[in-house]
Chain A
Amino acid sequence: MYGFEALTFNIHGGYLEAIVRGHRAGLLTTADYNNLCQCENLDDIKMHLSATKYGSYLQNEPSPLHTTTIVEKCTLKLVDDYKHMLCQATEPMSTFLEYIRYGHMIDNVVLIVTGTLHERDVQELLEKCHPLGMFDSIATLAVAQNMRELYRLVLVDTPLAPYFSECLTSEDLDDMNIEIMRNTLYKAYLEDFYKFCQKLGGATSEIMSDLLAFEADRRAVNITINSIGTELTREDRKKLYSNFGLLYPYGHEELAICEDIDQVRGVMEKYPPYQAIFSKMSYGESQMLDKAFYEEEVRRLCLAFEQQFHYAVFFAYMRLREQEIRNLMWISECVAQNQKSRIHDSVVYMF
Chain B
Amino acid sequence: MGESRGGGCCPPMDLMRSETMQLVQLIVPMESAHLTVSYLGDLGLVQFKDLNSEKSPFQRTYAAQIKRCGEMARKIRFFKDQMSKAEVLPKELLEKESDIDLDDVEVKLGELEAELVEINANNDKLQRSYNELMEYKLVLQKAGEFFSSAHRSATAQQREIESEDSQQAGDDLLESPLLQEEKSVDSSKQVKLGFLTGLVPREKSMVFERILFRATRGNIFIRQTVIEEPVIDPSSGEKAEKNVFIVFYSGERAKSKILKICEAFGANRYPFSEDLGKQAQMITEVSGRLSELKTTIDAGLGHRNVLLQTIGDKFELWNLKVRKEKAIYHTLNMLSLDVTKKCLVAEGWSPVFASNEIQDALQRAAVDSNSQVGSIFQVLRTKESPPTYFRTNKFTSAIQEIVDAYGVAKYQEANPGVFTIVTFPFLFAVMFGDWGHGICILLATMYLILREKKLASQKLGDIMEMAFGGRYVILMMSLFSIYTGLIYNEFFSIPYPLFAPSAYDCRDASCSEATTIGLIKVRDTYPFGLDPVWHGTRSELPFLNSLKMKMSILLGVSQMNLGIIMSYFNARFFKSSVNIWFQFIPQMIFLNSLFGYLSVLIIIKWCTGSQADLYHVMIYMFLSPTDELGENQLFPHQKTVQLVLLFLALVSVPCMLLPKPFILKKQHEARHQGQSYAPLDETDESLHVETTGGSHGHEEFEFSEIFVHQLIHTIEFVLGAVSNTASYLRLWALSLAHSELSSVFYEKVLLLAWGYNNVFILIIGILVFIFATVGVLLVMETLSAFLHALRLHWVEFQNKFYEGDGYKFAPFTFIFTANEDE
Contact = CB atoms under 8 A, between A and B. Distances in A.
B67 A136 contact: no
A188 B74 CA distance: 47
B330 to A, nearest CB: 12
B77 interface: yes
A140 B264 contact: yes
Interface string B174-185: 000000000000
Interface stretch (A56-64, A190-198, A288-296): A56-64
A137 B57 CA distance: 45
A138 B66 CA distance: 43
B57 A47 contact: yes
Contact of A50 (B59, B70, B77, B215): B70
A60 B77 contact: yes
A67 to B, nearest CB: 17
Contacts of A157: 207
Interface in B180-239: 204, 207, 211, 214-215
A40 B58 CA distance: 9
A39 interface: yes
A66 interface: no
A38 B56 CA distance: 9
Nearest to A62: B74
Contacts of B77: 59-60
Contacts of A39: 58
Contacts of A170: none
A139 interface: yes
A154 interface: yes
A152 interface: yes
Contact of B67 (A43, A61, A139, A140): A43
Interface string A126-150: 0000000000111111110000000
Which of B57, B66, B264 has the largest count of A CB atoms less than 10 A from its CB? B264
Interface string B35-53: 0000000000000000000
Given A60-B74, A136-B204, A143 B57 contact: no
B261 interface: yes
B56 A143 contact: no
B66 to A, nearest CB: 7
Contacts of B67: 43, 47, 63
A61 B78 CA distance: 10
Contact of B264 (A47, A122, A152): A122
Given A47-B66, A137-B211, A153-B211, A143 B58 contact: no
A73 to B, nearest CB: 14
B57 A60 contact: no
A238 B66 CA distance: 58
A59 B56 contact: no
Contacts of A139: 263-265
A35 interface: yes
A44 B56 CA distance: 10
B215 A142 contact: no
A63 B57 CA distance: 17
Contacts of B263: 122, 139
A285 B689 CA distance: 67
Contacts of B78: 60
Contacts of A153: 211, 214-215
Main secondary structure of the interface of B (DSSP, over half): helix
Interface in A31-86: 35, 38-40, 43-44, 47-48, 50-51, 59-63
B211 A142 contact: no
Contacts of B211: 137, 140, 153-154
B74 A59 contact: yes
A140 B265 contact: yes
B56 A35 contact: yes
B264 A142 contact: yes
Nearest to B208: A137
A47 B63 contact: yes
B264 A63 contact: no
Interface in A146-164: 152-154, 157
Contacts of A61: 74
A332 to B, nearest CB: 14
A62 B265 CA distance: 31
B669 to A, nearest CB: 42
Contacts of B264: 122, 137-143
Contacts of B70: 47, 50, 59
A50 B326 CA distance: 14
A131 to B, nearest CB: 16
A18 to B, nearest CB: 23
A48 B261 CA distance: 44
Contacts of B57: 47-48, 51
A47 B58 contact: yes
Contacts of B215: 140, 143, 153
Given A44-B58, A152-B214, A143 B261 contact: yes
Interface string B257-289: 100110111000000000000000000000000
Interface in B50-80: 56-59, 63, 66-67, 70-71, 74, 77-78
Interface string B721-751: 0000000000000000000000000000000
Contacts of B59: 38
Contacts of A152: 214
A157 B58 CA distance: 50
B211 to A, nearest CB: 6
Contacts of B207: 136-137, 157
Contacts of A59: 70, 74, 77
Contacts of A48: 56-58
B361 to A, nearest CB: 30
Contact of A140 (B56, B66, B74, B261): B261
B334 to A, nearest CB: 15
A164 to B, nearest CB: 15
Contacts of A138: 264
A265 to B, nearest CB: 40
Contacts of B58: 38-40, 44, 47-48
Interface in A190-236: none
Given A47-B67, A48-B57, A143 B74 contact: no
A137 B257 CA distance: 14
Contacts of A60: 74, 77-78
Contacts of A40: 58
Contacts of B257: 143
Contacts of A35: 56
B204 to A, nearest CB: 7
A151 B715 CA distance: 77
B260 A142 contact: yes
Contacts of B265: 137, 139-140
Contacts of A142: 260, 264
A277 B343 CA distance: 53
A63 B77 CA distance: 14
Contacts of A44: 58, 63
A170 B370 CA distance: 84
B682 to A, nearest CB: 45
Contacts of A122: 260, 263-264
A47 B68 CA distance: 11
Given A137-B264, A152-B214, A153-B214, 19 more contacts: A38-B58, A39-B58, A47-B63, A47-B67, A48-B58, A60-B74, A60-B77, A62-B71, A62-B74, A122-B263, A136-B204, A139-B263, A142-B260, A142-B264, A143-B215, A143-B261, A143-B264, A153-B211, A153-B215
28 contacts: A35-B56, A38-B56, A38-B59, A44-B63, A47-B66, A48-B56, A48-B57, A48-B58, A50-B70, A59-B74, A60-B78, A61-B74, A63-B67, A63-B71, A122-B260, A136-B204, A136-B207, A137-B211, A137-B265, A138-B264, A140-B215, A142-B264, A143-B215, A143-B257, A143-B260, A143-B261, A143-B264, A157-B207
Interface of B: 56-59, 63, 66-67, 70-71, 74, 77-78, 204, 207, 211, 214-215, 257, 260-261, 263-265
Ranked nearest first, the 3 interchain pairs of A and B with the lowest CB-CB distance are A139-B264, A35-B56, A44-B58
